[in-house]
Amino acid sequence: MKDFRKVDFSTWTTDPGMAARYAPIHGMVTELLNRIDPGGYTNMLEHLLAEHKPESIGEAHVIALMADLSWRIRGCFYLEDEMLKQEMEACGPKNMRKSKGGALLPKLSRYQSRIAREQSRSIRVLGLFAKNRKYAEARMAATLLRSKPCTSVIQ
């Protein structure tokens, strides 16, 4: 059994180099999502919290991270669609490789891949939380079965 406390969280959204590299795309994703679905993130977070029912602060943090990452991935799909539409309207499909949007699409793809990897990690960590809780409950039940039943009122 792998312990969730040994998972390396340093590669997640705390890397300042990654944040600086993808800041323009993150800003575009955020702006687009706020315009398209302003209350969507709150609804998604409430749905995930209701579905997983966290029992610790760590679990709640991982669920909030999952909501954030899912929201960003959704924004990437919207942004990619928006960029392709604008480029096709501006210069046509034949000249799209020469345009500015053609250079942003690979960067957006790398950003989306990075977020998908982080989301996969958060899902695994959430599974480890559930597995550890299940084993703790099983140990508690086994301990209760081994103990002698109380037969006296004084005990």
pLDDT digits (tens, 9 = 90+) for 54-91: 888 888 899 999 998 888 888 888 888 888 787 777 76
8 found inside a domain: no
| Domain membership of residue 142 as a residue range | 13-146
81 found inside a domain: yes
Token couple for 60 = 């709640």
141 found inside a domain: yes
Is the distance from CB of 27 to CB of 72 less than 8 angstroms?
no
Dump pLDDT digits (tens) for 11-52: 445 566 666 777 777 778 777 887 788 888 888 889 999 998
7 found inside a domain: no
3 found inside a domain: no
Conformational region of residue 25, where left means phi above 0, alpha means psi within -120 to 50, and beta covers everything else: alpha
Query: Among 29, 27, 9, which residue's Cα sits nearest to residue 73?
Result: 29
Distances (CA, A) of 79 to 32, 62, 145: 7, 25, 57
Q: Structurally, how many domains does the chain consist of?
A: 1
State the burial class of residue 76 (Cβ atoms within 10 Å of its Cβ: 0-12, 13-18, 19+).
Answer: buried
Neighbours of 29 (CB within 10 A): 25
69 found inside a domain: yes
